[in-house]
Amino acid sequence: MDEKEMSEPPQWLHVGITYNLKKSNRDEEWDGQSTSIEPAAVDNEAEYDDITTIMAIKEALESYNCRVTLLEVDKELPVKLVEHKPDIIFNIAEGIHGRGREAQVPALLNFYKIPYTGSDETTLCIALDKALTKRILSTYHIKTPKDRVIAKDQSQLTGRFPFPAIVKPNAEGSSKGISDVAIVTNRRELQELVSKDIGLYKQDMLVEEYISGREFTVGIFGNGRDVHVFPPMEIGYINQDKQYNIYSYNVKQNYKEFIRYECPANISKDIETEMINTARKIFEILSCKDFARIDFRLSPEGKLYFIEINPLPGLAPGYSDFPMIAEFNGMDYNSLVWNVLKSALKRYGMKSYID
Protein backbone atom coordinates (compact mmCIF):
# COMPACT_ATOMS: atom_id res chain seq x y z
CA MET A 1 0.00 0.00 0.00
CA ASP A 2 1.55 3.32 -1.06
CA GLU A 3 1.73 6.44 1.13
CA LYS A 4 -1.35 8.05 -0.53
CA GLU A 5 -3.54 5.01 0.17
CA MET A 6 -2.39 4.85 3.80
CA SER A 7 -3.19 8.56 4.37
CA GLU A 8 -6.78 8.25 3.14
CA PRO A 9 -9.36 6.79 5.55
CA PRO A 10 -11.49 3.96 4.10
CA GLN A 11 -14.87 4.84 2.62
CA TRP A 12 -17.23 2.98 4.92
CA LEU A 13 -20.79 3.97 3.97
CA HIS A 14 -22.25 3.79 0.47
CA VAL A 15 -24.86 6.55 0.04
CA GLY A 16 -27.00 6.95 -3.05
CA ILE A 17 -28.54 10.35 -3.80
CA THR A 18 -31.94 10.21 -5.54
CA TYR A 19 -32.98 13.44 -7.22
CA ASN A 20 -34.79 15.12 -10.12
CA LEU A 21 -32.62 17.42 -12.18
CA LYS A 22 -33.61 20.71 -13.78
CA LYS A 23 -33.26 20.37 -17.53
CA SER A 24 -34.52 23.70 -18.86
CA ASN A 25 -38.13 22.95 -19.78
CA ARG A 26 -37.41 19.41 -20.93
CA ASP A 27 -40.32 17.37 -22.27
CA GLU A 28 -39.35 13.78 -21.50
CA GLU A 29 -41.56 10.81 -22.19
CA TRP A 30 -42.67 8.42 -19.45
CA ASP A 31 -44.46 5.40 -20.94
CA GLY A 32 -45.50 7.53 -23.88
CA GLN A 33 -46.77 10.48 -21.84
CA SER A 34 -45.10 13.82 -21.33
CA THR A 35 -43.72 14.28 -17.80
CA SER A 36 -43.72 18.07 -17.88
CA ILE A 37 -46.63 20.48 -17.69
CA GLU A 38 -47.44 23.12 -20.25
CA PRO A 39 -44.26 25.01 -21.24
CA ALA A 40 -46.18 28.28 -20.66
CA ALA A 41 -45.66 27.77 -16.92
CA VAL A 42 -42.34 29.45 -16.25
CA ASP A 43 -42.00 27.58 -12.95
CA ASN A 44 -42.60 24.06 -14.30
CA GLU A 45 -39.28 22.85 -12.85
CA ALA A 46 -39.36 24.92 -9.66
CA GLU A 47 -39.28 21.84 -7.42
CA TYR A 48 -36.43 20.12 -9.24
CA ASP A 49 -32.78 20.62 -8.30
CA ASP A 50 -29.88 22.23 -10.09
CA ILE A 51 -26.78 20.08 -10.56
CA THR A 52 -24.89 22.40 -8.20
CA THR A 53 -27.19 21.32 -5.35
CA ILE A 54 -26.64 17.63 -6.14
CA MET A 55 -22.87 18.13 -6.16
CA ALA A 56 -22.98 20.15 -2.93
CA ILE A 57 -24.77 17.27 -1.15
CA LYS A 58 -22.34 14.77 -2.69
CA GLU A 59 -19.33 16.77 -1.50
CA ALA A 60 -20.85 17.18 1.96
CA LEU A 61 -21.31 13.42 2.30
CA GLU A 62 -17.84 12.74 0.94
CA SER A 63 -16.40 15.09 3.55
CA TYR A 64 -17.70 12.55 6.10
CA ASN A 65 -15.94 9.76 4.21
CA CYS A 66 -19.05 8.36 2.49
CA ARG A 67 -18.91 6.74 -0.92
CA VAL A 68 -21.56 8.46 -3.01
CA THR A 69 -23.49 7.32 -6.09
CA LEU A 70 -25.75 9.72 -8.00
CA LEU A 71 -29.11 8.18 -8.94
CA GLU A 72 -31.23 10.46 -11.09
CA VAL A 73 -34.89 9.50 -10.87
CA ASP A 74 -36.15 8.10 -14.16
CA LYS A 75 -37.72 4.82 -15.31
CA GLU A 76 -34.34 3.09 -14.94
CA LEU A 77 -34.17 3.81 -11.19
CA PRO A 78 -35.19 0.26 -10.10
CA VAL A 79 -32.35 -1.16 -12.22
CA LYS A 80 -29.87 1.37 -10.80
CA LEU A 81 -30.82 0.48 -7.23
CA VAL A 82 -30.28 -3.23 -7.85
CA GLU A 83 -26.99 -2.63 -9.65
CA HIS A 84 -25.41 -0.18 -7.22
CA LYS A 85 -26.78 -1.61 -3.92
CA PRO A 86 -26.40 1.52 -1.76
CA ASP A 87 -26.43 1.09 2.03
CA ILE A 88 -28.79 4.05 2.35
CA ILE A 89 -30.38 6.66 0.08
CA PHE A 90 -30.23 10.41 0.64
CA ASN A 91 -33.55 11.24 -1.00
CA ILE A 92 -34.38 14.70 -2.37
CA ALA A 93 -36.44 13.46 -5.35
CA GLU A 94 -39.73 15.19 -6.10
CA GLY A 95 -41.05 12.38 -8.28
CA ILE A 96 -42.26 12.41 -11.85
CA HIS A 97 -45.98 13.02 -12.17
CA GLY A 98 -49.22 13.22 -10.25
CA ARG A 99 -50.48 14.36 -6.89
CA GLY A 100 -48.58 11.55 -5.13
CA ARG A 101 -45.32 12.04 -7.02
CA GLU A 102 -43.20 12.78 -3.93
CA ALA A 103 -44.15 9.32 -2.64
CA GLN A 104 -42.88 7.46 -5.70
CA VAL A 105 -39.24 7.13 -4.66
CA PRO A 106 -39.86 6.35 -0.95
CA ALA A 107 -42.45 3.71 -1.92
CA LEU A 108 -39.95 2.11 -4.30
CA LEU A 109 -37.21 2.17 -1.66
CA ASN A 110 -39.53 0.54 0.86
CA PHE A 111 -40.41 -2.09 -1.74
CA TYR A 112 -36.70 -2.95 -2.06
CA LYS A 113 -36.14 -2.53 1.71
CA ILE A 114 -33.52 0.14 1.18
CA PRO A 115 -33.11 2.67 4.03
CA TYR A 116 -33.50 6.33 3.09
CA THR A 117 -33.54 9.82 4.57
CA GLY A 118 -36.71 11.80 5.09
CA SER A 119 -40.38 11.05 5.53
CA ASP A 120 -42.12 8.03 4.07
CA GLU A 121 -44.54 7.89 1.16
CA THR A 122 -47.64 8.38 3.30
CA THR A 123 -46.41 11.56 4.95
CA LEU A 124 -45.17 12.99 1.65
CA CYS A 125 -48.50 12.25 -0.07
CA ILE A 126 -50.48 13.97 2.67
CA ALA A 127 -48.19 16.98 2.97
CA LEU A 128 -48.16 17.73 -0.76
CA ASP A 129 -51.96 18.02 -0.68
CA LYS A 130 -52.33 21.36 1.11
CA ALA A 131 -56.06 21.11 1.76
CA LEU A 132 -55.81 17.56 3.12
CA THR A 133 -52.96 18.57 5.44
CA LYS A 134 -54.99 21.48 6.79
CA ARG A 135 -58.03 19.27 7.40
CA ILE A 136 -55.95 16.81 9.39
CA LEU A 137 -54.18 19.46 11.45
CA SER A 138 -57.42 21.31 12.19
CA THR A 139 -58.62 18.23 14.10
CA TYR A 140 -55.68 18.83 16.43
CA HIS A 141 -56.75 22.48 16.86
CA ILE A 142 -53.92 23.87 14.72
CA LYS A 143 -55.17 27.24 13.42
CA THR A 144 -55.11 27.56 9.61
CA PRO A 145 -56.56 30.15 7.20
CA LYS A 146 -60.08 29.54 5.90
CA ASP A 147 -60.04 27.88 2.49
CA ARG A 148 -62.01 26.36 -0.35
CA VAL A 149 -60.84 23.90 -2.99
CA ILE A 150 -61.89 24.43 -6.60
CA ALA A 151 -61.81 21.20 -8.59
CA LYS A 152 -59.95 21.32 -11.89
CA ASP A 153 -63.12 20.33 -13.78
CA GLN A 154 -65.31 22.90 -12.03
CA SER A 155 -66.33 25.51 -14.60
CA GLN A 156 -68.20 27.94 -12.36
CA LEU A 157 -67.57 29.14 -8.83
CA THR A 158 -70.15 28.19 -6.24
CA GLY A 159 -70.44 29.06 -2.58
CA ARG A 160 -68.70 31.71 -0.53
CA PHE A 161 -65.02 32.57 -0.55
CA PRO A 162 -62.90 34.53 1.93
CA PHE A 163 -61.56 37.79 0.44
CA PRO A 164 -58.86 38.86 0.06
CA ALA A 165 -57.64 35.40 -0.86
CA ILE A 166 -54.50 33.79 -2.19
CA VAL A 167 -54.82 31.27 -5.04
CA LYS A 168 -52.37 28.42 -5.33
CA PRO A 169 -52.22 24.93 -6.85
CA ASN A 170 -53.30 22.45 -4.19
CA ALA A 171 -50.46 19.99 -4.75
CA GLU A 172 -47.27 21.90 -5.51
CA GLY A 173 -44.25 23.15 -3.57
CA SER A 174 -41.42 25.69 -3.94
CA SER A 175 -44.02 28.47 -4.50
CA LYS A 176 -44.86 26.80 -7.81
CA GLY A 177 -48.02 28.36 -9.22
CA ILE A 178 -47.90 31.30 -6.80
CA SER A 179 -47.40 34.39 -8.92
CA ASP A 180 -47.03 38.04 -7.94
CA VAL A 181 -50.74 38.44 -8.76
CA ALA A 182 -51.92 35.46 -6.70
CA ILE A 183 -54.03 37.68 -4.42
CA VAL A 184 -57.65 38.26 -5.47
CA THR A 185 -60.20 40.58 -3.87
CA ASN A 186 -63.47 39.61 -5.59
CA ARG A 187 -65.20 36.79 -7.47
CA ARG A 188 -64.38 38.15 -10.93
CA GLU A 189 -60.65 38.22 -10.19
CA LEU A 190 -60.91 34.80 -8.59
CA GLN A 191 -62.68 33.25 -11.59
CA GLU A 192 -60.12 34.69 -14.01
CA LEU A 193 -57.09 33.57 -12.02
CA VAL A 194 -58.44 30.13 -11.23
CA SER A 195 -59.29 29.51 -14.90
CA LYS A 196 -55.81 30.57 -15.93
CA ASP A 197 -54.05 28.47 -13.26
CA ILE A 198 -56.09 25.35 -13.91
CA GLY A 199 -55.15 25.68 -17.57
CA LEU A 200 -51.47 25.84 -16.62
CA TYR A 201 -51.23 23.32 -13.80
CA LYS A 202 -54.05 20.86 -14.61
CA GLN A 203 -55.03 20.34 -10.99
CA ASP A 204 -57.34 21.52 -8.21
CA MET A 205 -56.74 25.02 -6.87
CA LEU A 206 -56.71 26.07 -3.23
CA VAL A 207 -58.35 29.42 -2.46
CA GLU A 208 -57.15 30.49 0.95
CA GLU A 209 -57.90 33.45 3.17
CA TYR A 210 -55.02 35.93 2.97
CA ILE A 211 -53.53 36.47 6.44
CA SER A 212 -51.86 39.85 6.70
CA GLY A 213 -48.98 40.27 9.11
CA ARG A 214 -45.53 38.73 9.47
CA GLU A 215 -44.25 35.56 7.81
CA PHE A 216 -41.99 32.92 9.41
CA THR A 217 -40.48 29.56 8.63
CA VAL A 218 -39.19 26.97 11.09
CA GLY A 219 -36.62 24.26 10.36
CA ILE A 220 -36.57 20.90 12.16
CA PHE A 221 -34.24 17.90 12.06
CA GLY A 222 -33.99 14.65 14.01
CA ASN A 223 -36.50 12.16 15.37
CA GLY A 224 -38.18 11.40 18.68
CA ARG A 225 -36.20 12.70 21.63
CA ASP A 226 -33.48 13.88 19.26
CA VAL A 227 -35.76 16.32 17.40
CA HIS A 228 -34.17 19.76 17.18
CA VAL A 229 -36.25 22.80 16.25
CA PHE A 230 -34.31 25.83 15.04
CA PRO A 231 -35.48 29.27 16.19
CA PRO A 232 -37.98 30.77 13.69
CA MET A 233 -36.64 32.73 10.71
CA GLU A 234 -38.67 35.77 9.65
CA ILE A 235 -39.19 36.38 5.95
CA GLY A 236 -39.31 40.16 5.99
CA TYR A 237 -40.42 42.08 2.92
CA ILE A 238 -38.24 45.06 2.01
CA ASN A 239 -41.13 46.92 0.37
CA GLN A 240 -43.59 47.39 3.22
CA ASP A 241 -45.74 49.76 1.14
CA LYS A 242 -47.30 46.93 -0.86
CA GLN A 243 -50.79 46.02 0.25
CA TYR A 244 -50.15 42.29 -0.10
CA ASN A 245 -46.75 40.67 0.36
CA ILE A 246 -46.41 37.00 -0.52
CA TYR A 247 -43.47 34.63 -0.86
CA SER A 248 -44.12 34.12 -4.56
CA TYR A 249 -42.02 32.21 -7.07
CA ASN A 250 -40.61 35.47 -8.44
CA VAL A 251 -39.78 36.77 -4.94
CA LYS A 252 -37.96 33.52 -4.10
CA GLN A 253 -36.02 33.64 -7.35
CA ASN A 254 -34.94 37.22 -6.64
CA TYR A 255 -34.92 37.14 -2.84
CA LYS A 256 -31.96 39.52 -2.47
CA GLU A 257 -34.08 42.23 -4.09
CA PHE A 258 -37.30 41.61 -2.14
CA ILE A 259 -36.51 39.82 1.14
CA ARG A 260 -34.67 40.54 4.35
CA TYR A 261 -34.21 37.38 6.43
CA GLU A 262 -33.86 37.55 10.20
CA CYS A 263 -32.95 34.55 12.34
CA PRO A 264 -33.62 34.27 15.14
CA ALA A 265 -36.68 36.42 14.49
CA ASN A 266 -37.31 39.53 16.57
CA ILE A 267 -40.41 38.26 18.39
CA SER A 268 -41.45 37.85 22.00
CA LYS A 269 -40.38 34.75 23.88
CA ASP A 270 -44.02 33.67 24.18
CA ILE A 271 -44.58 33.83 20.40
CA GLU A 272 -41.28 32.05 19.73
CA THR A 273 -42.19 29.27 22.15
CA GLU A 274 -45.66 28.90 20.61
CA MET A 275 -44.22 28.72 17.10
CA ILE A 276 -41.54 26.18 18.03
CA ASN A 277 -43.99 24.00 19.97
CA THR A 278 -46.56 24.16 17.16
CA ALA A 279 -43.92 23.22 14.59
CA ARG A 280 -42.82 20.26 16.69
CA LYS A 281 -46.45 19.17 17.14
CA ILE A 282 -47.13 19.33 13.39
CA PHE A 283 -43.93 17.38 12.68
CA GLU A 284 -45.11 14.64 15.05
CA ILE A 285 -48.77 14.62 13.93
CA LEU A 286 -47.79 14.06 10.30
CA SER A 287 -45.15 11.45 11.26
CA CYS A 288 -42.36 13.42 9.61
CA LYS A 289 -38.87 11.93 9.68
CA ASP A 290 -35.35 13.39 9.79
CA PHE A 291 -36.11 16.94 8.59
CA ALA A 292 -38.82 19.34 7.52
CA ARG A 293 -39.66 23.03 7.23
CA ILE A 294 -42.94 24.58 8.39
CA ASP A 295 -44.35 27.99 7.38
CA PHE A 296 -46.45 30.31 9.52
CA ARG A 297 -48.12 33.70 9.41
CA LEU A 298 -48.55 35.86 12.51
CA SER A 299 -51.55 38.18 12.23
CA PRO A 300 -51.43 41.79 13.51
CA GLU A 301 -53.59 40.56 16.43
CA GLY A 302 -50.89 38.05 17.38
CA LYS A 303 -52.70 34.92 16.12
CA LEU A 304 -50.45 32.21 14.71
CA TYR A 305 -51.59 30.48 11.51
CA PHE A 306 -50.09 27.35 9.96
CA ILE A 307 -49.63 27.89 6.21
CA GLU A 308 -47.96 24.74 4.94
CA ILE A 309 -45.26 22.15 5.60
CA ASN A 310 -42.48 20.87 3.39
CA PRO A 311 -41.18 17.49 4.66
CA LEU A 312 -38.80 17.47 1.68
CA PRO A 313 -37.31 20.97 1.97
CA GLY A 314 -34.89 22.37 -0.58
CA LEU A 315 -31.17 22.05 0.14
CA ALA A 316 -29.73 24.46 -2.43
CA PRO A 317 -26.78 26.12 -0.66
CA GLY A 318 -27.04 29.90 -0.50
CA TYR A 319 -30.65 29.83 -1.71
CA SER A 320 -33.00 27.40 0.08
CA ASP A 321 -34.54 28.44 3.38
CA PHE A 322 -33.60 25.28 5.29
CA PRO A 323 -29.79 25.53 4.93
CA MET A 324 -30.13 29.30 5.44
CA ILE A 325 -31.81 28.71 8.81
CA ALA A 326 -29.10 26.23 9.80
CA GLU A 327 -26.34 28.65 8.85
CA PHE A 328 -27.95 31.46 10.87
CA ASN A 329 -27.76 29.08 13.82
CA GLY A 330 -24.11 28.19 13.39
CA MET A 331 -24.49 24.92 11.46
CA ASP A 332 -22.58 24.84 8.20
CA TYR A 333 -23.90 23.13 5.09
CA ASN A 334 -21.85 19.94 5.40
CA SER A 335 -22.92 19.51 9.02
CA LEU A 336 -26.58 19.99 8.10
CA VAL A 337 -26.45 17.31 5.40
CA TRP A 338 -24.65 14.96 7.79
CA ASN A 339 -27.19 15.57 10.57
CA VAL A 340 -30.04 14.65 8.21
CA LEU A 341 -28.24 11.45 7.20
CA LYS A 342 -27.26 10.68 10.80
CA SER A 343 -30.91 11.02 11.88
CA ALA A 344 -31.90 8.39 9.31
CA LEU A 345 -29.03 6.08 10.28
CA LYS A 346 -30.14 6.19 13.92
CA ARG A 347 -33.76 5.59 12.93
CA TYR A 348 -32.82 2.45 10.97
CA GLY A 349 -30.59 1.13 13.75
CA MET A 350 -27.46 1.68 11.65
CA LYS A 351 -25.58 3.21 14.60
CA SER A 352 -22.35 1.37 13.79
CA TYR A 353 -21.77 3.91 11.03
CA ILE A 354 -21.87 6.87 13.40
CA ASP A 355 -20.48 5.55 16.70
What CATH number should be reported for the domain holding residue 279?
A: 3.30.470.20
Q: Kindly report, residue by residue over 290-318, the tens digit of the pLDDT.
A: 999 999 999 999 999 999 999 999 999 98
Question: How many CB atoms are closer than 10 A to CB 121?
Answer: 19
In a domain, 204, yes or no: yes
pLDDT 10s digits, 64-121:
999 999 999 999 999 999 999 999 999 999 988 888 899 999 999 999 999 999 999 9
Stated pTM of the model = 0.88
Percent of the chain with pLDDT over 70: 86
Together in a domain, 172 and 253:
no
Q: Where are the beta strands (DSSP E) in 20-142?
A: 29-30, 33-34, 66-72, 88-91
262 and 133 in one domain? yes
Domain assignment of residue 227, given as a range: 127-143+212-311
260 close to 236: Cβ distance less than 8 angstroms: yes
pLDDT attached to residue 355: 66
pLDDT for res 97: 81
Where residue 209 falls among pLDDT bands split at 50, 70, 90?
Answer: very high
Tell me the pLDDT tens digit for each residue of 234-245. 998 887 767 778
Three-state DSSP class for residue 62:
helix
Helix or strand or coil: residue 10?
coil
> What is the b/e burial string over 168-207, where b = at least 16 CB atoms within 10 angstroms of the residue's CB?
bbbbbbbbbbbbeebbbeeeebbeebbeebbebbebbbbb
Is the CB of residue 218 less than 8 Å from the CB of residue 229?
yes
CATH of the domain at 196: 3.30.1490
In total, how many domains does the chain have?
3
> Is the Cα dihedral 75, 85, 125, 274 positive or negative?
negative
In DSSP terms, which residues pair with 295 in a beta bridge? 217, 308
Nearest one of 47, 42, 49, 48 to 200, comparing CA atoms: 42
